[in-house]
């Protein structure tokens, strides 16, 4: 094991950058003061996000590759939620001097692999010393001329609320297992999805190991944002802070109420119930379904009859009743305080 304090910055970069595959749109990749990328469109979509050790991941309960994949997904999903296609990312990594170089190599490998799946190039970044490990990714995407960005304020009464994931709450369930001290033992293989054997639809893996893996490296179908949603989605975002909290952002921006379908979401809670039963402290899987963050699945509204493949209907959009505020409701109850808040 080689600690990064025993390598120069150039030496560390020599170990990390060879695995960063470049697309044909990259004119100049890592190695200079900045990258040069041929734009797919003159209209750029830009976002940035950070993962910090101790707040967003625990090294003892994850794998380096998973940290990289998570850093990629949370940024690519933000671009996809605008209906845009991500094109390139830059990455800034700060780490203690005693950090093993192999750890940073694994993070780089995981990030590059997840980006490559979407045809996204990792074109550069920065390395620095710090008291704790953090990874900041900035993603740039392209929005075609004539295509409007999918904003949060486009939801209207009588539209359908849909989720681009077959199951929500997996990340929160995995986090609960991590916080219960099970993460280190369970941070093994992700496992494989089961198959129902009928129509080819694959059932999500909800074994404890798979739930921890999903929390450490969520893997939603984010390409739906730029393949299935343009021209169809009326409002959209990715579920980063919980279904209720993020749905509330759409509701308030649009001045509507999102009325969730209990019968649909009950199946999600039931699927996660065995994981809740493993915990010493009582846990309600409904809290994971409604308030669990870091899923990064796309949540969108569509006109009736326009839900694309890859999405499932989980509720309706309606106008607020007299005296009712815009928000998210389940069985008539307002879901106001569920979800993650960095400063809450």
47 annotated binding-site participant: yes
340 annotated binding-site participant: yes
280 annotated binding-site participant: no
Q: Per-residue pLDDT for 340 more than 60?
A: no
207 annotated binding-site participant: no
Q: Give the H or E element holding residue 35.
A: none
78 annotated binding-site participant: yes
Of 124, 80, 31, 95, give the one whose Cα is nearest residue 226: 80
268 annotated binding-site participant: no
277 annotated binding-site participant: no
Burial of 281 (0-12, 13-18, 19+ CB in 10 A): exposed
Helix-strand-coil split of the chain, %, nearest 5:
35, 25, 40
Q: What is the pLDDT of residue 28?
A: 82
Rg of the chain over Cα atoms, rounded to whole angstroms, equals 20
H-type helices in 149-191, by residue range?
170-177, 183-186
Q: What is the pLDDT of residue 220?
A: 97
Mean pLDDT of the chain: 90
284 annotated binding-site participant: no
Q: Which residue has the tokens 């279904």?
A: 243
Is residue 201 very low, low, confident or very high in pLDDT (cuts 50, 70, 90)? Answer: very low
Q: What is the pLDDT of residue 32?
A: 77
In the chain, the domains with their CATH numbers are 9-142 (3.30.1330.10), 160-334 (3.90.650.10)
311 annotated binding-site participant: no
For the residues of 88-110, what is the DSSP string, one character each?
EEEEEEEE-TT-BHHHHHHHHHH
198 annotated binding-site participant: no
324 annotated binding-site participant: no
Q: What is the pLDDT of residue 190?
A: 45
- Overall pTM > 0.85: yes
196 annotated binding-site participant: no
Q: What is the pLDDT of residue 12?
A: 62
């Amino acid at each position: 094991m080689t600690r990064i304090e025993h390598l120069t910055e150039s030496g560390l970069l020599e170990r990390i950058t060879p695995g960063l595959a470049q697309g044909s749109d990259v004119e100049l990749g890592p190695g200079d003061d900045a990258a040069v990328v041929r734009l797919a469109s003159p209209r750029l979509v830009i976002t940035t996000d950070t993962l910090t050790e101790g707040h967003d991941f625990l090294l003892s309960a994850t794998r380096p590759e998973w940290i990289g994949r998570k850093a990629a997904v949370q940024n690519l999903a933000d671009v996809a939620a605008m209906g845009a296609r991500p094109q390139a990312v830059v990455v800034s990594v700060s780490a203690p001097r005693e950090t093993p170089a192999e750890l940073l190599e694994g993070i780089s490998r995981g990030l590059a692999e997840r980006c490559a799946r979407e045809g996204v190039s990792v074109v550069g970044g920065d390395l620095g010393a710090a008291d704790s490990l953090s990874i900041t990714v900035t993603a740039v995407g392209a929005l075609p001329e004539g295509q409007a960005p999918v904003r949060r304020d486009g939801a209207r009464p009588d539209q359908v609320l849909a989720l681009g994931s077959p199951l929500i709450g997996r990340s929160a369930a995995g986090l609960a297992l991590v916080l219960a001290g099970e993460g280190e033992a369970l941070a093994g293989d992700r496992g494989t999805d089961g198959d129902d054997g009928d129509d080819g639809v694959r059932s999500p893996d909800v074994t404890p190991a798979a739930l921890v893996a999903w929390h450490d490296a969520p893997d939603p179908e984010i390409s739906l944002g730029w393949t299935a949603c343009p021209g169809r989605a009326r409002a959209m975002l990715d579920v980063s802070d919980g279904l209720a909290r993020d749905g509330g952002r759409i509701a308030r921006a649009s001045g509507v109420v999102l009325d969730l379908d209990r019968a649909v979401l009950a199946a999600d809670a039931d699927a996660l119930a065995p994981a809740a039963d493993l915990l010493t402290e009582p846990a309600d899987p409904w809290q994971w379904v409604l308030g669990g963050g870091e899923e990064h699945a796309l949540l969108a509204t569509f006109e009736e009859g326009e839900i694309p493949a890859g999405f499932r209907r989980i509720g309706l959009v309606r106008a607020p009743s007299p005296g009712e505020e815009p928000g998210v409701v389940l069985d008539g109850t307002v879901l106001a305080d569920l979800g993650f808040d960095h400063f809450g």
